[in-house]
Amino acid sequence: MRYSLLLSLLLPLIASASMDPHIPSHWTEGYVVANNIRIHYWRTGGDKPPMVLAHGYSDDGLCWTAVAQELEDRYDVILPDARGFGRTDPPSQTESADVQVEDLAGFISALELEKPILMGHSMGSSSVAWFSARYPDIPRASILVDPRLVPRTPKAQAARNSVPMENRVQAILNRNNTNYRELFDSQKERNPHFSFLELHFWALSKQQYHPNTAYRSLGDRPQASDLFTKTSCPTLILKADDQGELRAGNESVASNLKNGELVHIEDAGHSVHRDQPERFHLALNAFLSKL
């Protein structure tokens, strides 16, 4: 009896993604094998220019749902789950810092995408920026949503590195084991302006990301200023509403792009597209209309 009750509670979570009524019924999902792992994705479909959206840390592809719905009339929007997130295979504890770059390269190749537009948020923006520098002839354009442009100070980096790995892993497990309603309500309390869709898929994603993703904070990554000198495709940076020295630093780093544009979105925090969706899409559409 107790087992039956537990199973009845678990089944909705196990089947939550495929059966979720908030995913448009015409979207399709699938897997490809790329860079020696199985990558899961959702796709809006249609004979349209491809656009790949790379999500941020602890999110998954469906966290882009609200954005994809705004774009799917013009683009075949593809929403992959990054390694260790959503339904994509987990990472090991020893992978190189650029593994997500090669995952993205393998994913684009496996789906035979021609000149895709790439957009990434946070962690995803790091992958897109690195990819666009390493493979400058592949993207039609790149959009970076609140990437880190100005490097952390040595003090801030030292504080970040001082957190024991077992603490980071446990923090992920704690989130994995938090029920959906608690996750949803806590985020709604912090960000009451987030739409239902943003809150819904954010909460679901927190139950799925793998503890080994904690190790992705390790390893050397090139600075944005160095990547931008090697990037040739049109690039849009949509940044949070940073002020003072940080804003000036963003502008200085972005000036390394040969064909780039930096827009600080008024009143937006790190989740630019969630905080200010109208301003986000206004700036995004202005950029896309020029391609």
Each of the 291 residues of the chain gets a pLDDT tens digit; together they read: 343 333 333 334 434 455 799 999 999 999 999 999 999 999 999 999 999 999 999 999 999 999 999 999 999 999 999 999 999 999 999 888 899 999 999 999 999 999 999 999 999 999 999 999 999 999 999 999 999 999 988 888 888 888 999 999 999 999 999 999 999 999 999 999 999 999 999 999 999 999 999 987 656 789 999 999 999 999 999 999 999 999 999 999 999 999 999 999 999 999 999 999 999 999 999 999 999
Q: State how far the Cα of 134 lies from the Cα of 138, in Å rounded to an integer.
A: 9
The pLDDT assigned to 221 comes to 84
The pLDDT assigned to 218 comes to 58
Question: Radius of gyration (Cα) for the chain, nearest Å?
Answer: 19
The pLDDT assigned to 234 comes to 99
User: What are the angstrom distances between the C-alpha of 273 and each of 20, 71, 208?
Assistant: 22, 13, 22
Q: State how far the Cα of 176 lies from the Cα of 153, in Å rounded to an integer.
A: 31
The pLDDT assigned to 219 comes to 60
Sheet holding 235-239, edge to edge: 28-34, 37-43, 76-80, 50-54, 117-121, 141-145, 235-239, 260-264
- Contacts of residue 80, defined as CB under 8 A and 6 or more positions apart, other chains included, come to 39, 40, 41, 52, 54, 61, 88, 104, 107
What CATH number belongs to 27-288?
3.40.50.1820
The pLDDT assigned to 139 comes to 99
